[in-house]
Amino acid sequence: METKTYKIAIVGAGPAGYFTAQALQNIQSDDLSIKIDMIERLPTPWGLVRSGVAPDHQKIKTVAKVFEKIAKTDGFRLFANVQVGSDVSLRDLRDQYDVVVLSTGASIGRKLGIVGENLINSLSAAQFVPWYNAHPDFTDVQVDLDTDTAVVIGAGNVAMDVARMLALDPSELEPTDTAEHAMPILRHSKIRRVIICGRRGPEHAAFTAPELRDLSKLTHTDVYIDQDELKAASDRIDQMGEVEKDLKNNLEAMRLIAENEKKGVRRKLEIKFLSAPIEIKGNKKVSEVVFTLNEVKDGKVIATDKTFSIKCGLVVSAIGYDSLEYAGLKIENGRIVNIAGHVEHNLYTTGWAKRGPNGVIGTNKSDSADVVDLIVKNLKEPKSSEGITALLKSGHDVIDQTGWEKINASEVISGELAGKPRIKEVDWKRLISLGTS
Ligand code: NAP
């Protein structure tokens, strides 16, 4: 039988993009061949594995080895430093490819929408995380750690990453790939107390158990959760009957933190619940966050008439993300409107752009495979078109896989000399020059 060869463009070189490519590679057969062009706005691939995963969680980053294997498989090409929307239009891309998959994540930090949110040193995790992770667009974020207390709003894993980065002893970050521009600021940080504030109860927290368990391993930081607050949550869920395993594990991990003997060190990380921020106060710069105390009544979280405040010099909100906007596409609940990954005609989406900002890196594997099944089911006759090379202006500096490998090698070599996994290059021009040399 004749082999049909299709051209598929994946926009976004993060975990969702790579796992989509892997699923496409795996689904090939004697009569189906797929050529994949992965298009990435930045000069570097790996998405959140490079600019999201916390530097003290190096093990999670080893998934990049899988990405590189996918990238080295026949029929895969990387086009980094190419922005859909300005360098090429989505419409043209869809004309040139049999299928286009948007795997561009959700990088826009949600807003609290409260008074004082725009004060100096009130940051979104969507700024703070890429700043400490050396994302080239976030080198200028102004971060002032000349304060003893920081408040992190949100009870999810991003809030936990942010809180750890602020609460760790800087010596623990020395052997990591934390941005070179962030290290001096973190080294001189005066922060000794970091308070994570969740607006609902411990039973509603979005943390995952492995991340909670990691907190007990911190050597220079004592972690606190109020035992009475946990006991009340346990009593409430006992009344619910059957309890999900994940929730049980979470509460158990929190109980261990709460009961853990403290080391008596100066660095403290506290997790508070039922605390909904209503105002950030300060004269130009953050000085205090005011909260409403919530309570759980008949399974519902409601506001009480009590308020309290925490004096602090830094607030980071980690309350979720929204997908990037694309002309002509609808965004709802942070994601591109789609049905099981199908947006319209030959346009699909995977990852956070498809699901909204939830799930860990591994979630993308099965999720992308499901979308790929649907893509293949809907394939028609292959187009005879040239692909992205027909669309790029001549002289456009594309970073291809070889170019990326040059950047990668250069960063790893600089890192080796400094006892780090890598030293990330942050300057856009230098990245392009390294990748096109
Ligand atoms: P998330 O898990 O959805 O958590 C967001 C938190 O923000 C929730 O506690 C939410 O509370 C709270 N929130 C939302 N709006 C708020 C508001 N207006 N005021 C106060 N709190 C508000 O999101 P995330 O932390 O950004 O993480 C995104 C995904 O990445 C998650 O699936 C996460 O597990 C994953 N991730 C994983 C790792 C890891 O595996 N190490 C690391 C980082 C991220 P409500 O529940 O009350 O809405």
pLDDT reported for residue 32: 97
Pocket of ligand 1 contains residue 157 by CB under 6 Å: yes
| Both structure tokens of 191 | 């922060």
Pocket of ligand 1 contains residue 358 by CB under 6 Å: yes
From its phi and psi, is residue 299 left (phi > 0), alpha (psi between -120 and 50) or beta? left
pLDDT reported for residue 270: 98
Alpha carbon of 250 to ligand 1 centroid (Å): 14
- From first to last of its 437 residues, the chain has per-residue pLDDT tens of 789 999 999 999 999 999 999 999 999 999 999 999 999 999 999 999 999 999 999 999 999 999 999 999 999 999 999 999 999 999 999 999 999 999 999 999 999 999 999 999 999 999 999 999 999 999 999 999 999 999 999 999 999 999 999 999 999 999 999 999 999 999 999 999 999 999 999 999 999 999 999 998 999 999 999 999 999 999 999 888 788 999 999 999 999 999 999 999 999 999 999 999 999 999 999 999 999 999 999 889 999 999 999 999 999 999 999 988 888 899 999 999 999 999 999 999 999 999 999 999 999 999 999 999 999 999 999 999 999 999 999 999 999 999 999 999 999 999 999 999 999 999 999 999 999 99
Query: What Å distances lie between residue 112 and 11, 257, 317, 416, CA to CA?
Result: 29, 28, 8, 41
Q: Could you give the CA distance from residue 19 to residue 368 in angstroms, rounded to a whole number?
A: 6
Pocket of ligand 1 contains residue 164 by CB under 6 Å: no
Q: Could you give the CA distance from residue 214 to residue 163 in angstroms, rounded to a whole number?
A: 13
Q: Could you give the CA distance from residue 64 to residue 9 in angstroms, rounded to a whole number?
A: 20
Q: Which atom, in ligand 1's list, is nearest to the CA of 320? A: 26
pLDDT reported for residue 90: 97
Mapped onto helix, strand or coil, the DSSP state of residue 78 is strand
From its phi and psi, is residue 314 left (phi > 0), alpha (psi between -120 and 50) or beta? beta
Element (H, E) at 375: helix 363-378
Ligand 1 pocket mutation pick from 49, 158, 273, 360 by most atoms within 8 angstroms of CB: 158
**With contact defined as beta carbons under 8 Å apart, do 221 and 267 qualify?**
yes
- Overall pTM surpassing 0.85 (yes/no): yes
Q: Could you give the CA distance from residue 278 to residue 303 in angstroms, rounded to a whole number?
A: 11
Pocket of ligand 1 contains residue 296 by CB under 6 Å: no
Pocket of ligand 1 contains residue 151 by CB under 6 Å: no
Alpha carbon of 198 to ligand 1 centroid (Å): 10
Q: Could you give the CA distance from residue 387 to residue 67 in angstroms, rounded to a whole number?
A: 22
Strand residue runs (E) in 284-346: 285-297, 300-311, 314-317, 321-322, 331-332, 335-336, 342-344
Alpha carbon of 365 to ligand 1 centroid (Å): 20
Contacts of 413 (CB under 8 A, 6+ apart): none
Contacts of 281 (CB under 8 A, 6+ apart): 116, 287, 288, 289, 290, 309
pLDDT reported for residue 238: 87
